[in-house]
Each structure stands twice: as C-alpha cells, then as structure tokens.
Amino acid sequence: MDTPRPFTPRPEPLEEEPYGDYEGGELDAAAASVGSHRLKVPEPAPLTEHGPARVIAVANQKGGVGKTTSTINLGAALAEYGRKVLLVDFDPQGALSVGLGVQAHELETTIYNLLMERGAEIDDVIRSTNVEGMDLLPSNIDLSAAEVQLVTEVGREQALGRAIKPVLDRYDVILIDCQPSLGLLTINALACAEAILIPLACEFFSLRGVALLMDTIDKVQQRLNPDLKILGILATMFDPRTLHTKEVRQRVIEAFGGLVFEAVINRTVRFPETTVAGEPITTWASNSNGAHSYRLLAREVLAR
C-alpha cells in the first residue's frame, strides 16, 4: 500500500492575491508595490555551457521564515532562466524533499550517506525533479545523526564541501536549504558557500534574530571561509494590509540598505497548496504573484 503524502493544513485565506494577477512583463511592479524604489533587473542572458556552480546557502536560525519555500521556488525560477540547479536538502526534517514530492522517510540513500560513508557516490543520491534542469540531493531524519558523528571527524566543517565537489562543474547554481539552527550542519553549509541568502519574515522577532546570524557569518568568514558574502536579505510573509509588516521591512532596509532584495514574498494560500502538490509555485500557479516574485528574485540573484 502506498504511503499517503503528508497533508499540510490549508490556512484561512488572507486574500487570494493581494495585488491581483499581472502579466510577466510587469515583474518589477511586484517589488515596487512595497519597495522604496523600483529596481530594473535585466533578463539573464542564455548560457552556452554550464558550471562551475555558484554555491548559495539559504539560512536563518529562526524557523518558519520561508527558507525551504524560497529554496524550492528560487531554484525553479532559476531553472526557467536556463540555469542548471541542484537543491541540497540539508535539514534532517527533509522538508525540501517532501516539498518536491519525495517521500523522504522511504529513501535508502540520502546526503547522510555522502557525508558519513566512504565510497558513497553522489550520482547514486541525486534525484531528478519534475522541474526540467533542477535536481535534488535529498535528506531525511538520518541526517540528524551526522551532526553528532561529525564532531570527532577531522575537517568536520568541510564535510559538505567535499560531498558536493564532484558535481560543481555540472551545475550553475547549488542552493543549500539549511536547518533552523546555527549548529554544525549550518556551519558546513556556510563553509562551502560563496554567498548566503537570508529569508526574513516581516515580523519583529525575526528581525531580532538577524544579529545572531550576522555574528555567526562573521566568525565563519574569519575562521573558515573568508570569501563568504551576504548575497541579500529576502523579505517573506509580507502582508501589505498590515502596518507591522511594512514597518519591519522598512527597518530592515534602513539597517541593510542595498542588501535587501526588491523582490518581496507575500503571504498567500498558494504556498501551502504547492507543498501538498509537491511542486514549486512557478508550475503550480504560474501566473500568481508568488511565482512572479520568485522570478524577480531569480533575476536579482543572477544580477548580483
């Protein structure tokens, strides 16, 4: 008997699409509706060859800020622009894998095997997805044991970097979905990444936690990865009807200036629906505000 796909409760609708649908040529309007200014982001040029990959960690020690949702949908949007993308599920909860329709608890080989078993081949673990040009390195609860087992390993902070090194020339972008903590797994992601993308929910407690994350990034830059930089801060769970979310985003802009992406991810019932469907919003609701916002984000990422 097939195991039923986990069900994600559908929230009460806030509003189907706060700004309504709009055509693909109006992508900048999604950001300009709440941003301090309009940013013209060029269409990315097509590629004639792929690699080496740009490794980007999607991290924030606070849970529930949209890390996994952003990893999936940014990856899918980048693939739409002709980039070859690898998503790395580096959270023992396996939410990224489940969000792409993979029954994580049934997997025999995951990223855990790459980290802890000699002779494990990355090609035996990578899975294709329903999105053309986007692959997945899945995870499940087994990965939680790796954080304990790696403690005694030499070069423990570089374990993930060693695991993905064989495929760097195969992809254009590798996105690492980090767990909501600043433990050894997250340090591994930051140690091998070129840049970090920080999803930040537009609420006061999320804003308070950014200082701790910045301190961790500073330590990683000093001790493990001097080339690590902050790619940008992504405002998520934005509700244009509330003054609070607008104030939080404005405070983030005042604190971080140009690091804040113009793309803004609004609250919408579409995202829980995509989790149940096991596919990104760019294919589930292609013309929705959420899909257009992640396409705008993809253009910004490629332009930085």
Q: Which CATH architecture has domain 54-303?
A: 3-Layer(aba) Sandwich (3.40)
State mean pLDDT over 290-294. Answer: 93
- The answer for residues whose C-beta is within 8 angstroms of residue 19's C-beta and 6 or more apart is 29, 30, 33, 240, 266, 289
Q: Please state, in angstroms and as integers, the Cα–Cα distance from residue 42 to each residue in 27, 298, 303, following that order.
A: 11, 11, 7
Mean of the per-residue pLDDT values for the chain? 85
Q: What is the DSSP letter of 237?
A: E
Q: Quick one: pLDDT at residue 22?
A: 35
Cα within 13 Å of Cα(168), Cβ side: 14
Alpha carbon distance 180, 213 (integer Å)? 11
Residues 110-156: tens digit of each pLDDT: 999 999 998 899 999 999 999 999 999 999 999 999 989 998 888 89
Q: Quick one: pLDDT at residue 286?
A: 85
Of 48-52, 266-270, 296-300, the poorest mean pLDDT is in 266-270
Q: Quick one: pLDDT at residue 284?
A: 82
Report the candidate in 275, 302, 295, 288 with the shortest Cα–Cα distance to residue 68.
Answer: 275
Q: Which residue has the higher pLDDT, 288 or 193?
A: 193
Cα dihedral: 205, 206, 212, 216 (round 10):
160
Residues 183-235: tens digit of each pLDDT: 999 999 999 999 999 999 988 877 777 888 899 999 999 999 999 999 999 99
Predicted TM-score of the model (pTM): 0.85
Alpha helix (H) residue ranges in the chain: 27-32, 67-80, 95-99, 111-116, 143-149, 159-164, 184-192, 204-223, 243-256, 270-277, 281-284, 289-303
Nearest-5° angle of CA 294, CA 300, CA 304? 145
Nearest-5° angle of CA 193, CA 206, CA 175? 25
State mean pLDDT over 281-285. Answer: 86
Domain regions of the chain by residue span: 54-303
Q: How confident is the model at residue 258 (pLDDT cuts 50, 70, 90)?
A: very high
- Print the SS3 string covering 135-203: EEECCCCCHHHHHHHHHHCCCHHHHHHHHHHHHHHHCCEEEEEECCCCCHHHHHHHHHCCEEEEEEECC
